[in-house]
């Protein structure tokens, strides 16, 4: 299988479609998410650009374009499963091809914010149902019968009264000449045959037999290889370098200075170009580089958190949300809670380190690699390199993990600049140490939480956070509060608590930061849900019942009911520690209950995790469970195992020897439950992460009476 992205023009040759075919997609004239459904003949007739979602050839072969990256989250399965449902075809007969980056045809192709399904499922259902109805109409026309007497199933159209049948391939010629119907009737969820079923993933065979093409697997004729010694501090420059030893390494062909854009700044380095990755890395090790790191601070981790704590005590910050008079109530209260929570910087730690293939050809640039955001790459590199946007061709491969890091433009830009300099295609491979120490990272944040309980109820609630605002790296206004200051915190809380303030205290360092799985919800969730637990204890109320009081929403009450049911919450016993947390992000809510017990000799162990997800309409329950499980494992690592630390402005943790990951024997039993309803689809890849850390630390308090307010911590030292 070759999962190279394709343009519409060369699609037919590569996919094997011959002769007449039915090609159906959307016409998106204004780069809107929703467009008019048209077929290829209409596109040619009117001279418009359309995306190519579904192709059916005369053999009946169905080829589907997946418009989003596949990094393990399941788009390669979800998109075909959605289309196959309404198109009435067998899923195992579908050929899936990655769509080339082109948001004018496909709308947003950014694989982030858990948006693949929730952002496109309605369009995909309508598109596939439209294709089905065109094929049914074509069959009815051939048989000269009423269309109502015909139905589609298993890639064929049947005539009920006579028993006649035709496979889709026999109908594509006639169907391709029909105008797409404007309104089609979609199936009810109860009638689904594929959606909602735990079907096996289409990409599993490719990933187990070695035929799946990841970025590191991509090869093109004449390709060279490069490794780059980059400045360990973002704002530093290359002062000088000695490449004499590097050039003596067998296979090394060239050494050159290079830069890549990191938001509105640049990171400089020295690239070693060679005939193999091994030679390039050995040449890199032989380099002698002198850096100019003057003109900016070289911070230590301790400096960062000390400054954040001081800022929270001395600055009021920018109001993200303020209602009632929380300050007046807090200032006059005879008793209040005033606590601080701290979360660490984190590295994305994708199993596949960054890599990219680029081929600069004068007025044209081709890029292949593990890329989450092709349109951002097109936008950024076309401006940086003075190319027309349409001449920057971005092709997505499979990704060995992304978590937000591969939605960035720096590594494709660097590869493109090297290709231009050497006038040849090149693959740039980052080592694990490069990947771990270059950032950008999830920002570390400190929270000051103040509250007042009166007569068992929250009278005042105030949170101030000090941490780097990712939008500032992208040129966002610095006099505006962080737009994600409450991400993860359920909106019904803000509707129920009359005296509430959420304040953002601006904080900056030279360390580059960006989104990380579940973005700010991964840090906010720990602070907000831990603080709510402290307020519940102060009010003398059951933590889950306390949350129910303020989450005045029937859908949330059903989720809480399910949490109580599956975890046995109301039947907890002495000597068992139970903790709860409920968080929301990307239109999905997840509640988690963690059960722990003491370990002989000290510390605690996690006995069980129950997670209840309400993501509304969903495609594949196995994918949902896998994503929640993976999120919990990632949340466990961020809470108890790893963090990025800095010394003299440089990342200390260079590999998994110090940035330790959770081992399989450390993963507790995890039980996932999915709420069933007819609500709009929410995200799945990220919402399962934020609730875990606070549920765990709340369980520790329940068992031991000790509050954990700083992450990461060791389970063995509790």
Over the stretch 494-532, which tens digit does the pLDDT of each residue have? 999 999 999 999 999 999 999 999 999 999 999 999 999
Residues 269 and 338 in one domain: no
Do residues 560 and 551 make contact, with C-beta atoms less than 8 angstroms apart?
yes
Please provide the average confidence, as pLDDT, over all residues in the chain.
Answer: 93
Q: Are residues 329 and 368 in the same domain?
A: no
Average confidence (pLDDT) over 115-129: 91
Select the more confidently predicted residue: 24 or 34: 24
Residue 364 lies in a domain: yes
pLDDT at 594 > cutoff 50: yes
Beta carbons of 661 and 641 less than 8 angstroms apart: yes
pLDDT digits (tens, 9 = 90+) for 189-231: 999 999 999 999 999 999 999 999 999 999 999 999 999 999 9
Tell whether the model's pLDDT for residue 476 goes beyond 90: no
Indicate whether 420 and 543 sit together in one domain: no
Residue 38: pLDDT over 80: no
pLDDT per position as a tens digit, 673-695 = 999 999 999 999 999 999 999 99
pLDDT tier for residue 342 given thresholds of 50, 70 and 90? very high
What is the distance between the alpha carbons of residues 698 and 707, in angstroms, rounded to a whole number? Answer: 8
User: 337 and 400: one domain?
Assistant: no
pLDDT in tens, 384-409: 999 999 999 999 999 999 999 999 99
In a domain, 138, yes or no: yes
**Is 529 within 8 Å of 694 (Cβ atoms)?**
yes
Structure confidence at residue 2 as a pLDDT band (50, 70, 90): very low
**What's the pLDDT at 29?**
57
Query: What is the token pair recorded at 520?
Result: 């700010």
pLDDT of residue 54: 87
Question: Are 194 and 257 within one domain?
Answer: no
CATH number, domain containing residue 606: 3.30.365.10
For residue 23, what pLDDT band results from cuts at 50, 70 and 90?
Answer: confident
Kindly state whether residue 300 falls inside one of the protein's structural domains: no
- Given 395, 429, 463, which residue is the final one in a domain? 429
Q: 472-480, long-range: CB within 8 Å, 24+ apart, which pairs?
A: 472/508, 473/262, 473/263, 473/264, 473/440, 473/512, 473/513, 473/514, 474/263, 474/264, 475/263, 475/264, 478/506, 479/318, 480/318
Query: Looking at residues 547-565, what average pLDDT do you find?
Result: 98
Positive or negative, the Cα torsion across 317, 299, 712, 638?
A: positive
pLDDT band for 64, please (50, 70, 90 cuts).
Answer: confident
Query: Residues 656, 525: one domain?
Result: yes
What pLDDT score does 15 carry? Answer: 43
| Domain stops at, among 429, 455, 488 | 429
- Domain annotation covers residue 203: yes
How many structural domains are present in the chain?
3
Q: Are residues 201 and 332 in the same domain?
A: no
Please check whether residue 1 lies inside any domain of the structure.
no
Whether 344 has a pLDDT exceeding 80, the answer reads yes
- Same structural domain, 362 and 497: no
- Together in a domain, 377 and 329: no
Q: What is the mean pLDDT of residues 477-505?
A: 97
Structural domain ending residue among the three candidates 429, 462, 488: 429
2 part of a folded domain: no
pLDDT digits (tens, 9 = 90+) for 150-195: 999 999 999 999 999 999 999 999 999 998 898 899 999 999 999 9
Start-to-end C-alpha separation, the chain: 50
Q: Label residue 35 by pLDDT band (50, 70, 90).
A: low
Same domain membership, residue 495 and residue 422: no
The predicted pLDDT at position 51 comes to 62
- Is the confidence at residue 361, as pLDDT, over 50? yes
Higher pLDDT among residues 48 and 619, named by residue: 619
The pLDDT assigned to 13 comes to: 44
Give the burial class of 45: count Cβ atoms within 10 A of its Cβ; 0-12 exposed, 13-18 middle, 19 or more buried: exposed
**Segment of 10-14, 468-472, 627-631 carrying the highest mean pLDDT:** 627-631
Q: Are residues 495 and 538 in the same domain?
A: yes
Both 656 and 507 in a single domain?
yes
What local confidence, expressed as pLDDT, does residue 8 receive?
A: 44
What's the pTM value of the predicted model, to 2 decimals?
A: 0.94
pLDDT in tens, 372-385: 999 999 999 999 99
- Among candidate residues 122, 84, 409, the one with its CA nearest the CA of residue 264: 409
Q: How does pLDDT run across 411-450, given as a tens digit for each residue?
A: 999 999 999 999 999 999 999 999 999 999 999 999 999 9
For residue 553, tell me if it sits in a domain. yes
Domain of residue 48 covers 8-209
pLDDT band at 26 (very low <50, low <70, confident <90, very high): confident
Contacts for 490-494: CB closer than 8 Å, 24+ residues apart:
490/551, 490/556, 490/582, 490/583, 490/584, 490/589, 491/584, 492/550, 492/551, 492/552, 492/553, 492/556, 493/532, 493/550, 493/551, 494/321, 494/323
Look at strands 500-505 and 457-467 and give their pairing.
Answer: parallel
Residue 434 included in any domain: no
Q: What pLDDT, on a 0 to 100 scale, did the predictor assign at position 12?
A: 45
Q: How many CB atoms lie within 10 A of CB 369?
A: 26
Instruction: Look up tokens 């981790």; give the residue.
Output: 301
């Amino acid at each position: 299988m070759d999962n190279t992205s394709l343009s519409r023009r060369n699609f037919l040759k590569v996919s094997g479609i011959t002769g007449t075919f039915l090609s159906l997609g959307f016409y998106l004239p204004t780069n809107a998410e929703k467009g008019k459904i048209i077929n290829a003949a209409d596109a040619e007739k009117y001279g418009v650009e359309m995306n190519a979602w579904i192709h059916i050839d005369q053999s009946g072969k169905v080829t589907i374009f997946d418009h989003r990256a596949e990094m393990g989250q399941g788009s390669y399965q979800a998109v075909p499963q959605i289309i196959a449902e309404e198109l009435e075809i067998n899923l195992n007969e579908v050929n899936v091809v990655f769509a080339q980056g082109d948001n004018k045809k496909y709308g947003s192709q950014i694989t982030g914010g858990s948006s693949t399904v929730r952002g496109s499922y309605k369009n995909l259902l309508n598109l596939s149902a439209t294709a089905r109805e065109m094929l049914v109409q074509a069959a009815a026309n051939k048989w000269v019968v009423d269309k109502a007497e015909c139905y589609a199933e298993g890639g064929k159209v049947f005539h009920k009264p006579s028993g006649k049948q035709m496979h889709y391939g026999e109908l594509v010629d006639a169907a391709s000449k029909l105008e797409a119907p404007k309104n089609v009737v979609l199936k009810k969820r109860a009638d689904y045959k594929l959606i909602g079923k735990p079907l096996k993933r289409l990409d599993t065979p490719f990933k187990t037999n070695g035929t799946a093409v990841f970025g590191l697997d991509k090869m093109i004729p004449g390709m060279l290889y490069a490794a780059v010694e980059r400045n360990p501090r973002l704002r530093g420059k290359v002062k000088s370098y000695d490449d004499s030893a590097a050039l003596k390494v067998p296979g090394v062909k060239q050494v050159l200075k290079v830069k890549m854009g990191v938001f509105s700044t640049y990171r400089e380095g020295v690239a070693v170009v060679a005939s193999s990755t091994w030679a390039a890395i050995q040449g890199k090790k032989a380099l002698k580089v002198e850096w100019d790191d003057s003109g900016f601070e070289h911070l230590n981790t301790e400096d960062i958190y000390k400054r954040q704590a001081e800022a929270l005590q001395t600055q009021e910050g920018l109001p993200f949300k303020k209602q009632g008079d929380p300050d007046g109530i807090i200032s006059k209260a005879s008793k209040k809670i005033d606590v601080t929570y701290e979360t660490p910087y984190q590295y994305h730690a994708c199993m596949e380190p960054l890599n990219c293939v680029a081929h600069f050809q004068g007025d044209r640039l081709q890029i292949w690699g593990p890329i989450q955001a092709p349109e951002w790459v097109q936008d950024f590199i076309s401006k940086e390199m003075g190319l027309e946007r349409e001449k920057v061709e971005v092709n997505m491969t499979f990704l060995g993990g992304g978590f937000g890091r591969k939605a960035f433009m720096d590594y494709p830009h660097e590869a493109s600049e090297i290709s231009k300099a050497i006038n040849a295609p090149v693959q740039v491979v980052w080592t694990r140490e490069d990947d771990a120490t270059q950032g950008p990272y999830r920002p570390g944040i400190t929270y000051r939480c103040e509250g007042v309980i009166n007569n068992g109820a929250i009278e005042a609630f105030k949170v101030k956070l000090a941490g780097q605002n990712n939008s500032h790296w992208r040129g966002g206004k610095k006099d505006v509060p962080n737009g994600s200051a409450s991400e993860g915190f359920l909106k019904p809380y803000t509707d129920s608590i009359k005296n509430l303030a959420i304040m953002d205290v601006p904080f900056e360092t030279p360390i580059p930061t960006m989104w990380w799985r579940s973005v700010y919800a991964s840090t906010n969730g720990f602070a907000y849900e831990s603080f709510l637990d402290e307020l519940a204890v102060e009010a003398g109320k059951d933590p889950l019942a306390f949350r129910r009081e303020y989450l005045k929403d029937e859908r949330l009450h059903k989720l809480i009911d399910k949490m109580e049911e599956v975890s046995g919450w109301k039947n907890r016993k002495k000597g068992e520690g139970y903790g709860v947390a409920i968080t929301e992000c990307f239109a999905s809510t997840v509640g988690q209950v963690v059960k722990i017990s003491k370990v002989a000799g000290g510390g605690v162990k996690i006995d069980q995790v129950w997670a209840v997800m309400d993501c509304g309409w969903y495609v594949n329950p196995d994918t949902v469970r896998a994503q929640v499980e993976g999120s919990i494992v990632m949340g466990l690592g961020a809470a108890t195992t790893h963090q990025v630390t800095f010394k003299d402005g440089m990342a200390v943790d260079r590999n998994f020897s110090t940035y330790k990951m959770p081992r399989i024997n450390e993963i507790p039993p995890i039980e996932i439950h999915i709420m069933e309803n007819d609500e709009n689809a929410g995200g799945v890849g990220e919402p399962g992460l934020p609730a875990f850390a606070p549920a765990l630390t709340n369980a520790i308090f329940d068992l031991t009476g000790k509050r954990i307010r700083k992450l990461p911590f060791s389970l063995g030292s509790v």
